[in-house]
A = this chain, B = another copy of it.
């Protein structure tokens, strides 16, 4: 089997995760020319008002469009973080909206307040999904920045193009910061108390 990359975007209904996943899939499949399959499931088992969408990328045609080995999980609320973290593979990427996710199961997560950014910078919770999309673009190399911009412009409602471009860029900036913070944090825990004692 060749290259395969599996992503799950999860949160509450109304957080725009399905639109986000469609933009992501179109950016990768149509604009970047890889094979992409985008899926969402609904059913009686779904807990009230929650939403989950998956995007699978491959360099060959996708025969099995379900998650087998989750590479990336975006959790926009606590419930979905709790429910899906166990599906994330060892070393997989966890991105959480720290506006709503307070108990983060691993210190290696990227914790970014997407909804707070949307609210504060754009006075609209609604664009939190596009902020998150910008962050995801910056934190992975799964999609090019040009492709994601093109795909956003095609899919968002007419008249909201500038707002959404700004939201995307805010997400990219927030991810750069989160990446730096995590790097710093990961250097620090390497220095144990023992190390510190030894240093003197």
Binding site for B on A (CB under 8 A): 18, 22, 25-26, 28-30, 33-46, 61-66, 157
Contacts and interface: CB of A to CB of B under 8 A. Distances in A.
A31 to B, nearest CB: 9
* Chain copies in complex: 2
A35 to B, nearest CB: 4
Nearest to A53: B38
Nearest to A60: B43
Given A65-B66, A66-B65, A42 B26 contact: yes
B29 A43 contact: yes
A35 B42 contact: yes
Given A22-B18, A65-B65, A65-B66, A40 B38 contact: yes
B61 A45 contact: yes
B42 A39 contact: no
Nearest to A159: B157
A29 B42 contact: yes
Nearest to A31: B42
Nearest to A42: B29
Contacts of A41: 29, 35-38, 62, 65
Contacts of A46: 29-30
